[in-house]
Amino acid sequence: MKRNIRDQLIWLAIAVGGWLVIDLLTLVGIISPFILTIITMIEINVILAVSLNLILGVSGQFSLGHAGFMAIGAYASAIVAEKSNSIWGFALGILIGMAISGIIALIEGIPTLRLRGDYLAIATLGVSEIIRITINNLEITNGPKGIFNIPAQADWSIVYIFAAVITMVIVNLVHSKTGRAILSVRDNEIAAASLGINTTKFKVIAFVVGAVAASVAGSLYATYLQSITPSNFSFMQSISTLIIVVLGGVGSITGSILAAVVLGFVDIILQNYGALRMVLYSLMLIAFMLFRPSGFLGTWEFSISRLFSAKNKSQKESK
């Protein structure tokens, strides 16, 4: 327990250190407002990728519907922020988004998580598209026109804090007793069930936590970019989060963060190529998958405790 607290504190220090570095570089003027926007989008992508990785990599459920939950969070925050532009409005928007996403994920998860592999993927894609089409047809969400002039409530450092906290919560969940149950369901559902693990329960826990985190990412997206339309949350958004997770390595939280950062900077570089941008991006994606099919890090995970103890290291690797 003591070691665990020490590791948490080290992580916290790393997170605060990262914040200080970005803050300092902004003050000095090395980070321009343009790059700061990219950094904020990277932070949002970190939340999305880490939470999708919990569903896909840790619990082994192939979800293609992350954008739907993101949309719920974004619209909840946008609507609340328009009524009340204060810290309370900001918090309320995020909470409402989390609650709705959690409930929908629960209703969606219990029946659909019985489906396997690609069938689950296509069902979650369906739910996500139904959410988007519903938003497209509702009055309160301003239909296909979307919502503009949303009060700016999130800035890069608020998003950074959320990204760090959500990552720590998810990593701790993975290492908890619940997390080990989720991992066992991924590795062998039948074996886990025969040990008395309620497989549906743990799949649903991972799914709901992932969905709620995606909703927070959506809330931050809306209150940072200040304008949203339903087309921001089409299935292409789910796909781009999926790409981050697979590029980083399915199952590696460290990989998801690394891939979000790398893709963010690749995006900056590709901005110079105009119309060729997406062609180069897709070629890179194909080439990367062909030469490194398991992603940047595979299932490798950066771990503080491993840095401190060699014995621990050999244990974890043999796992």
Q: Residue 122 or 266: which CB sits closer to other proteins?
A: 122
Residue 275 in the binding site for other proteins (CB under 8 A) = yes
- What is the rounded distance in angstroms from the CA atom of residue 152 to the CA atom of residue 134? 25
- Is 218 within 8 Å of 70 (Cβ atoms)? yes
Q: What is the largest CA-CA distance in the chain?
A: 60
Q: Which is nearer to other proteins, 43 or 108 (CB)?
A: 108
Smallest distance, other proteins to C-beta of residue 39, A: 25
Q: Which residues sit opposite 147 in a β-bridge?
A: 228
* Residues in 232-271 that interact with other proteins by CB under 8 A: 235, 239, 242-243, 246-247, 250
C-alpha distances out from residue 113 to 102, 250, 297, Å = 15, 19, 27
Closest approach of other proteins to the CB of residue 56, in Å = 8
Which one of residues 46, 62, 179, 211 is an interface residue with other proteins (CB under 8 A)? 62
What burial class does residue 112 get, using C-beta atoms within 10 Å of its C-beta: 0-12 exposed, 13-18 middle, 19+ buried?
A: buried
Q: Does 118 bind other proteins (CB under 8 A)?
A: yes
Q: Enumerate residues 6+ apart whose C-beta is below 8 A from 270.
A: 277, 280, 281
Subset of 283-302 contacting other proteins (CB under 8 A)? 283, 285-286, 289-290, 293-294
Where do contacts with other proteins occur on this chain (CB under 8 A)? 56, 62, 111-112, 114-119, 121-123, 125-127, 129-130, 133-134, 136-137, 190, 235, 239, 242-243, 246-247, 250, 275-276, 278-279, 281-283, 285-286, 289-290, 293-294
